[in-house]
Amino acid sequence: MTAVSLTAKIKLFLNKKGFMRKFILYSFLYLLVQACSGIQLINQADFYSEEFLKKIESIQLIYKDGDKKLALTKLRNILDEKISSSEKAKKYNLVGVIHYAGGEQLRIFNWRHNLLIRILFSPIKSS
């Protein structure tokens, strides 16, 4: 067997119909599984203070009981200056969820726009 015929056999094998598609698909699936294998849930205690989590939990219970206005009032009473940036994100996410559940999509768009402007142009504080 000569080297020319061996390379010709390899080329024929690689050019078989569907081989490259299968190879690319299986390679992609393998990489996807490998990339997602290390995903873990976050530990909330690493990002939020215990006091903040208790406040948010009580506000969520108030909202689940149906008192949307009181829940929003309590959320607004949490001062941004006294909480970390991750706590601010959780606070404003909950505000957005409450507004969205009430069918106020346009209000949410305006609220997100204003929040983005506030975040972009506010001084950065270390937490």
pLDDT of residue 70: 92
| Domain tally, the chain | 2
Domain interval for residue 60: 44-120
Give the tens place of pLDDT for each residue, 97-120.
Answer: 887 776 665 565 666 667 776 666
Give the tens place of pLDDT for each residue, 18-75.
Answer: 777 778 778 888 888 888 777 777 788 888 899 999 999 999 999 999 888 899 999 9
pTM of the model: 0.53
Q: Is 47 exposed, middle or buried (0-12, 13-18, 19+ CB in 10 A)?
A: middle
Q: Is residue 127 part of a domain?
A: no
Same domain, 90 and 68: yes
DSSP H stretches of helix in 37-122 = 50-64, 68-77, 85-101, 105-120
In the chain, the N- to C-terminal Cα span, in Å, equals 71
Q: Is residue 126 part of a domain?
A: no
